[in-house]
């Protein structure tokens, strides 16, 4: 227990370290996708958003305008990203395993977009494309493709 407390007392990584991690993760996923131009299919465009969504969730967690209940959901999304075992574990399927993490993140972000002004959420977005269009495209595809994934079915169950 003492080790855990000591670990929690460590300062957060610097902004530079956070950006370096983000860029390395994006690079690894892009390399993985480049090696499978036809092997991943339609999901490849969604997998590449995983680092962007993770970055967005971590930045929102630090935003003082976000209430505690919403931060609980954000924290759950972050934990889902870093959990070693989930519906599509990255350790078994590589970066393609981020697809279920993206589904969970989109659900959380949609919830936040319904509660807060879009500008509050968008100012933390580091992705190359407009956040609202990305979320809309993934949500629309979710009805066709993503809902076939175990995480998609789980998210739909909680939405009822």
DSSP the chain: -HHHHHHHHSPPPPHHHHHHHHHHHHHHHHHHHHT-TTTSGGGHHHHTTHHHHHHHHHHHHT-TTS-HHHHHHHHHHHHHHH-SSSSS-HHHHGGGGHHHHHHHHHHHHHHHHHHS-HHHHHTT--SSS-HHHHHHHHHHHHHHTGGGSHHHHHHHHHH-
Residue 3 has pLDDT above 80, yes or no: no
- pLDDT, the chain, mean: 78
Give per-residue pLDDT as tens, 120-149. 999 999 888 888 888 888 777 655 554 555
- 5 has pLDDT over 80: no
What confidence score (pLDDT) does residue 149 get?
Answer: 53
pTM of the model: 0.74
Per residue in 64-77, pLDDT (tens digit) is 999 999 999 999 99
């Amino acid at each position: 227990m003492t080790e855990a407390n000591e670990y929690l007392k460590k300062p957060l990584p610097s902004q530079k370290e956070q950006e370096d991690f983000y860029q390395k993760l994006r690079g690894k996923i892009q390399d993985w996708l480049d090696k499978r131009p036809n092997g991943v299919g339609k999901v490849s465009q969604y997998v590449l958003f995983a680092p962007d969504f993770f970055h967005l969730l971590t930045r929102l967690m630090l935003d003082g305008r976000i209430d505690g209940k919403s931060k609980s959901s954000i924290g759950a999304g972050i934990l889902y990203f870093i959990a070693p075992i989930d519906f599509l574990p990255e350790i078994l399927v590589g970066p393609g395993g981020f697809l279920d993490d993206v589904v969970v993140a989109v659900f959380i972000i949609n919830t936040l977009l319904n509660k807060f002004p879009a500008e509050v959420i968008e100012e933390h977005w580091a992705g190359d494309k407009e956040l609202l269009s990305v979320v809309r495209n993934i949500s629309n595809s979710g009805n066709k493709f993503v809902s076939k994934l175990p995480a998609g079915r789980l998210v739909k169950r909680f939405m009822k």
